[in-house]
Structure 1
């Protein structure tokens, strides 16, 4: 749940950005389906970019896909753990 929600929020925050929308060189292909092997954005004709959590497993999973050649193609965000979420929203955490 945490990474899935974070993924949706991050892609959603980049896609409607006025500068991204105005740039005809950037195509938004992103989807709200985590795990789908499709880049979130394509710059130019072939530079694929994805937004994902910064966990090593998430990065490794993305780098295992055919559409990524270098980690520079990934825009990462920190992943919050249960205790951190509990600090923000209250509760015991997981």
Structure 2
């Protein structure tokens, strides 16, 4: 598992935010910030934390256009790949 995947997910969400506006863009930005912080933290995020972020991303993507939704899905894929290496659930 590599924290680079969390950074990649954050970057995808910033692109998603750039492709939309309003509350949807703000939601993508908030999750992007959280992922960037998690990538730099001493202890990585757990499954529950990541599941909540994935839910938020998918919910925001449902209100976004195709370009933003595509970047959001790419972010989810990065987070899911990272989760495969996290012990637990």
Same fold (TM over 0.5): no
TM-score normalised to structure 2 length? 0.38
TM-score normalised to structure 1 length? 0.36
Question: Which structure is higher in strand share?
Answer: 1
Which fold has the larger relative contact order, with Cα–Cα distance below 8 Å and residues 6 or more apart in sequence? 2
